[in-house]
Structure 1
């Protein structure tokens, strides 16, 4: 087959290169080269990777490693067009506006959608403010400019594919984009979007740490390849996509192990609650215990118990065990976290807590209260985050905490207030309808006291 279509990916990071690009590479290996990836970034923060890829014709080595130290090395050749960053993002927008581009996918992290607990845009965020005034610092500003250009094409129809850990991610992105277009007076583009684009929900899964400093040397030793942009990931990989591509124009992903389904919801709920939340909890609690790596933190019985109890006591009761055996899934996930060869850092996984609590933890808290339960095991997780952030406030974390939406002044003010736990429990952005609930505040107070015991 000859190449016909472009898959533009926004967010040329390690996860994309170890996940979506791997699947497209599998297709190419099978003899189907009808799709190729163009990829670039909204922000100018990883151009060293882009330059390395350009020097290597887009090729790089992926190292996968199992918990038993079984390593495999593979050259990934699916990224045919690494895109340099430019201040006006013209090269990225031009790639998105090309007629042969039929899928535009993105991994911009949970914080990159700027959604509050009611899934409305956080309009006072500086980046979003810039885009509401014509900028392109967020996924909404960039996609709006790409779609505007696509309206001029003979055939601008396209699939917009969110690949981040946001619940109902395709729907949330769609609604955020529509709100953005409303706020910027682009009602014609809303009408065009309804007729010419789809936004399927997806679930992605593979643990991909930031590449370790010794990875290029190891790859050179094992393969003889001098690679300046390698990536590594665990052996496990999964991708579930709602089969709702515009006009069904898509790569034949089902041939390489992607699950194309009518509804992603059961898979994404299981993954967000059984994998993403325990991952963050282990990173926060492990840090308080003096650990720097996820595998060390998971092997710490006190830390692991937080994750185990949360799934066992609250998640299984919330979701039920009908479609997916959540107890078995929990055990597989915790086993994956103990992989010492991935060397995934608590710093990476601890990031973006102010997005993770409302998006990933709040639903379980609310559901359990509605079921008449008092979700102590779930409440312990934001309590641990509270103590973790208290250490940040005191300047005692062993690394820089990274969060796309943190209001640093407000967090410092909370810890300097007379009753920081009350301020925390009353935060609607974090806890939605539970904010100001007296029983929830009391529960959080009990769990913060328990979380303090993790401090070393």
Structure 2
């Protein structure tokens, strides 16, 4: 197999699509914090398409890694060895695939080398957009919409001369830019959050105001925080995946990534320091992201949660496996079409029935085979965003919520660490405390409904919902998930 670097691009197998531009002529105009699989399969690909166009060569990406650990060390070393290149394999449901070497990440700076170089790069006037994927729970904004300056990590970062959080690094870079006259940049959240631009503004301005009130005011007045909706399924990559992908591509890539063939990006057109020609490469620019966001979060993302928890309870571990179960598919179809669709007001160019069918098509893509445990993880952050509003609106309208009660019962049982067949389930909950996790093993099956994540769901006022939730948890243990889901 051929190694991957600038020097070997011309020697890659002919089936591999290579950058149709001179990478030596590309400079970074976008800095991205959190260069994980999703970013590389989504935003980096859009940038790769952009760089083919005349006048867009200054919109390459500066990748930034801010979390210490072995994974970051390995990623930084891989980016160094491969000159920022990586392969992306896109799989279609009909078993066809496309492999390309993505070249839009032209430089990578890691916290392995310290945080001061990161700030210096962000302060460079060439950077006009700072985008980020730091996970849904990574913004330190509580249920009341306030930035948690008292959180130990944030409190410590506020005291550091050289900060280490995304908020501290961006704040310090903006301070230097204000003093030098370089001006602000746009901060673009690409995480699965409702009103992610507003959440990002709350977090970054909250940190800045706690550090320097005048700087915080300047950021509020000058920095843009557009909302955006991102959509593409890009599973985590195991060592076995690396071997499989490299063998298929013929490229010895240290960090290949793969995804489905579907992709979507909708962005609020609000950029304080200019932007590339996003619309020329398929990005939907709009003045109102929320309707697109609601459809995606409450259908695709919520559908993923429905599939993940019911599938895990049935003993499955991958999306395509769970989609082979007729009872789970029926649950998912009814959830999308009967529960969610009537509650939404979609954009004029979105047909909800067609969207629901597309969700099912995407989930059936066995070549992608996303991991149910990955989808189920961080549910303390995800469930309020993906499912909370649907439950609240259904209860408020006096409508049936037995499917939602069942899914949450599956979630509660999965959090105990076992599926319905006795197999081990590993769900990561980075924002949950030990005391909160202990509630899943409480003899009171309703205890978990008192967790803070259910604030605003109105489940406490509906005895019918609570009784259905308790009954499903009990039945999952006594009758088994197969019998329970068949009865739905």
Matched, 1:130 2:156: yes
* Distance 1:106-1:451 versus aligned 2 partners, 3 A rule: farther
User: 1:251-266 to 2 correspondence within 5 Å?
Assistant: 251-266=276-291
Matched, 1:314 2:345: no
Matched, 1:36 2:63: no
Offset at 1:286?
Answer: 1.2
Aligned residue in 2 for 1:364 = 390
Q: Normalized against structure 1, the TM-score is what?
A: 0.91
Query: SS of the residue aligned with 2:66?
Result: coil
Aligned residue in 1 for 2:369 = 343
**Higher gyration radius (CA):** 2
Q: Identify which of 180, 198, 201 aligns with 2:207.
A: 180
* Distance 1:392-1:133 versus aligned 2 partners, 3 A rule: farther
Aligned residue in 2 for 1:228 = 254
**Partner Cα distance (1:169, 1:321) in 2:** 18
User: 1:373-452 to 2 correspondence within 5 Å?
Assistant: 373-391=399-417, 398-412=424-438, 414-421=439-446, 423-432=447-456, 434=458, 436-439=460-463, 440-449=465-474, 452=477
**Partner Cα distance (1:393, 1:130) in 2:** 39
Q: Are the equivalent residues in 1 in contact too, given 2:128–2:185 (CA < 8 A)?
A: yes
Give the superposed CA RMSD: 2.6
In structure 1, the gaps of 5 or more residues are: none
* Distance 1:454-1:270 versus aligned 2 partners, 3 A rule: farther
Aligned residue in 2 for 1:162 = 189
* Distance 1:221-1:436 versus aligned 2 partners, 3 A rule: closer
**Partner Cα distance (1:254, 1:58) in 2:** 25
Q: Are the equivalent residues in 2 in contact too, given 1:112–1:138 (CA < 8 A)?
A: no
Matched, 1:149 2:176: yes
* Distance 1:405-1:393 versus aligned 2 partners, 3 A rule: farther
In structure 2, the gaps of 5 or more residues are: 1-20, 483-488
Matched, 1:58 2:84: yes
Aligned residue in 2 for 1:26 = 49
**Partner Cα distance (2:467, 2:173) in 1:** 48
* Distance 1:293-1:191 versus aligned 2 partners, 3 A rule: same
**Partner Cα distance (1:43, 1:154) in 2:** 30
Q: Normalized against structure 2, the TM-score is what?
A: 0.85
**Partner Cα distance (1:341, 1:351) in 2:** 22
Offset at 1:69?
Answer: 1.2
Aligned residue in 2 for 1:10 = 33
Give the number of aligned pairs: 452
Offset at 1:47?
Answer: 2.5
Query: SS of the residue aligned with 2:258?
Result: strand
Aligned residue in 1 for 2:486 = none
* Distance 1:235-1:41 versus aligned 2 partners, 3 A rule: same
